[in-house]
Amino acid sequence: MANEGYHEPIDELSDETRDMHRAITSLMEELEAVDWYNQRVDACKDKELAAILAHNRDEEKEHAAMVLEWIRRRDPSFDKELKDYLFSDGDIAHG
């Protein structure tokens, strides 16, 4: 389990690369949790439970945003791409 998702020997990876792997894995897990909660909210017949599930989903979004910011601060290329695309009004896809 400790080497899950690694494609190279762990002992050949820097601490920075291993931390980035942890962050990317965490971001993937948070986004997966958002998807799962979206499905649960959509399928739930009890309004009170649906509200609780929606609250939990939104907390996962907060976690994802925090991890994404951590990644942005440590990866200059990611920083550039996020600054180019987030909160912009232009076309998202390259023409």
How many Cβ atoms sit within 10 Å of the Cβ of residue 13?
15
**Tokens 């690694």 map to which residue?**
6
Tell me the one-letter amino acid at 63.
H
pLDDT means per 10 residues, the chain with 95 residues, are: 80 97 98 99 99 99 99 98 93 78
What CA–CA distance (Å, rounded) separates 95 from 88? 16
**Tokens 């909160």 map to which residue?**
87
CA atoms within a 13 Å half-sphere pointing along the CA-CB vector of 70: 16
Q: What is the pTM of this model?
A: 0.89
Q: How far is CA 70 from CA 30, 47, 91, in A?
A: 14, 35, 26
pLDDT at 1: 47
